[in-house]
A and B are shown apart, each in its own frame.
Chain A
């Protein structure tokens, strides 16, 4: 069961929204519907599934309906048609049609939210702000305090607990907002441009912190952003919105390599591919490498030969007839065993790290999959090619 599932969701604003669904079915655009009925089409035909533990980013220009879709998950926006299923207590609950008590229960325990302008209560201290959700739930003060202090420690604000929210910098205030959302231990987090109000350096730091937190606590996050770089950095899935519709939904690489519409292509043009592209979209795949007598030829003259075992796993290398050694890279940090003659790296290695490795050494880079099986090769040609293909 996915954590969140949108089924053909339409959202319409305005007093005279009754006729809008019929117009949507006729394929009318947002502007036409506005002209005909005076109702604003917030979102139309949204189909989106967010799995447990996934970070899904809604991306689009201002007014494209990102917040509208996000706010349907906890019922802040009324849905005109379709259903929004949220996994709550082991069942999929349709928040568009559940009763008030269930909706309240979902808001208290299953879904919590981080706001763009922080949404902190200025008359409360940091601690009281973080405990707000628990207080609403009616949790006794002592227990609340224990949880709040734990969350404050998690976001590194323990010393600031008794200060007023206004006394903190923007980045700190947003950490209070994060702690408040985490405090209810909700399975699903909604984040409406949580970092847009912060300056770029702090934003970058907060993104790293969020990814770091996510590795530890594994929540389901629906994240809104108007910045494709941010979306590609943190999103395991990205849904791109235009005028109330999702025009493309996929992984960062999907979107970067195969933009579905000119609108998406326009966004993609302005992003930095180095942190998005990974080994498998750059390399020459294993099936098309040159082989001879059970070895893989790594250079043109056949002087560098890599031996593989029966499972196609690299086991050794021979350079000019001399026995060489393999340098293995773990993760994206880019550290490897020196000295060596070729580098063996996981196939998910980011292009940025690959280039950094290439700069430090002149060795061929071999990509292997999770089982250690040869996936492909990456030399200078592959790197330049991947960069050129994008700008072409």
Chain B
């Protein structure tokens, strides 16, 4: 039995390989094009952010933090965190990572939220994509790093793609959760007043699901950030690079400094993106 099993191995590996090769040969233009567009977008944003004098940019970030939360403490914390990053000497990689995270999150939201909505309205669709979502979150990242590398080449784009694959289940799941947990009575209130499907979505379902969707987006940002080191392995710029370099040269100091910059960025992003304390009276 055992030998029979080993002799008749299912050629899973070679199937996948031929599939990727097939894509590589026949759809190369498509991947090149995606690579070009995404690469330009990320670089564009990075260049734009780096073109602004760092202190001015920090002031802008602090301003955004204040604008969203009306909290001087958070604004001051944001400014201090970024000043610390400059002090550590990681300003440029931090901005590169920030650009990567912003684009990854944007892609996740633009693709994930509509998928979540569609899945909430069609139980069969959700049943269909659930295994895929589980797979995307459990399969070791390195495994899909290799095909993305083959298809998109070395650089920031395969990093972005891997990040999106890893992070997108969060907004999909939480959007699905938010929409399906709309109380039947609210949906009926909408229907009873003659709302169309679209009005029901925009006036009842989405507003009700918004806090949950926002939680999904915050989670997505954190997941993206946790991918920076792995993205660096395929050549993405950012704070992952010094970590990888420190690992290769057993440089404890550099590893910790770059790690500290990642943690600071993570805390700032988490605090800024957290839903502002809900206005009084709202649920």
Contact = CB atoms under 8 A, between A and B. Distances in A.
| A, B assembled together | yes
Interface of A: 74, 76, 104-109, 111-113, 115, 117, 119-124, 132-133, 135-137, 163-164, 166-167, 184, 190
26 contacts: A74-B192, A76-B188, A76-B191, A76-B192, A104-B194, A104-B196, A106-B194, A107-B194, A108-B194, A111-B192, A112-B192, A112-B193, A113-B192, A115-B185, A115-B188, A119-B189, A121-B203, A121-B208, A123-B210, A123-B283, A133-B194, A135-B203, A136-B199, A164-B281, A167-B281, A184-B193
Interface in B261-283: 279-283
Contacts of A164: 279-282
A67 B88 CA distance: 67
B104 interface: no
Given A119-B186, A136-B203, 16 more contacts: A74-B192, A76-B188, A76-B191, A104-B194, A106-B194, A107-B191, A107-B194, A108-B193, A117-B185, A120-B189, A132-B193, A132-B203, A135-B203, A164-B282, A166-B281, A166-B282
Per DSSP, chain A at the interface is mixed
Contacts of A119: 185-186, 188-189
B74 interface: no
B282 A122 contact: yes
Interface in B192-206: 192-196, 199, 203-204
Contacts of A135: 203
A163 B281 contact: yes
Give the size category of B's interface with A.
Answer: 20 to 34
B207 interface: yes
A23 B9 CA distance: 58
Nearest to B204: A121
B193 A123 contact: no
B207 A123 contact: yes
Q: Lowest 10 CB-CB distances: which A-B pairs, in order?
A: A108-B194, A107-B194, A164-B281, A119-B189, A133-B193, A113-B192, A167-B281, A122-B283, A104-B194, A119-B185
Contact of A105 (B194, B208, B279): B194
A81 to B, nearest CB: 22
A98 B90 CA distance: 67
Contacts of B280: 164, 167
A74 B191 CA distance: 9
Contacts of B279: 164
Nearest to A137: B194
A287 to B, nearest CB: 51
Contacts of B208: 121, 123
Given A136-B199, A163-B281, A167-B281, A121 B207 contact: yes
Contacts of A117: 185
Nearest to B189: A119
Nearest to B281: A164
Interface of B: 185-186, 188-196, 199, 203-204, 207-208, 210, 279-283
A133 B189 CA distance: 9
Nearest to A119: B189
A112 B193 CA distance: 6
Nearest to A109: B194
B118 to A, nearest CB: 21
A107 B189 CA distance: 11
B75 to A, nearest CB: 27
Contacts of B204: 121
Contacts of A109: 194
Contacts of A137: 194
B280 to A, nearest CB: 8
A136 B195 contact: yes
A137 B196 CA distance: 10
Nearest to B195: A136
A108 B193 CA distance: 5
Contacts of A123: 207-208, 210, 282-283
B59 to A, nearest CB: 33
In this complex, the member of A117, A123, A163, A184 whose beta carbon has the largest number of chain B beta carbons within 10 angstroms is A123
Contacts of B203: 121, 132, 135-136
A287 B191 CA distance: 56
A120 B207 CA distance: 13
A8 to B, nearest CB: 25
Nearest to A108: B194
B215 to A, nearest CB: 16
Nearest to A107: B194
A159 B189 CA distance: 24
Contacts of A105: 194
Nearest to B210: A123
B224 to A, nearest CB: 28
Contacts of A184: 193
A190 B199 CA distance: 22
A111 B193 CA distance: 8
A164 B279 CA distance: 10
B178 to A, nearest CB: 13
A21 to B, nearest CB: 25
A107 B281 contact: no
A108 B192 CA distance: 8
A106 B283 CA distance: 32
Nearest to A110: B194
A124 B283 CA distance: 10
Nearest to A123: B207
A89 B192 CA distance: 18
A190 B193 CA distance: 12
Contact of A136 (B186, B188, B193, B210): B193
A166 B188 contact: no
B206 to A, nearest CB: 10
In this complex, the member of A76, A112, A121, A137 whose beta carbon has the largest number of chain B beta carbons within 10 angstroms is A121
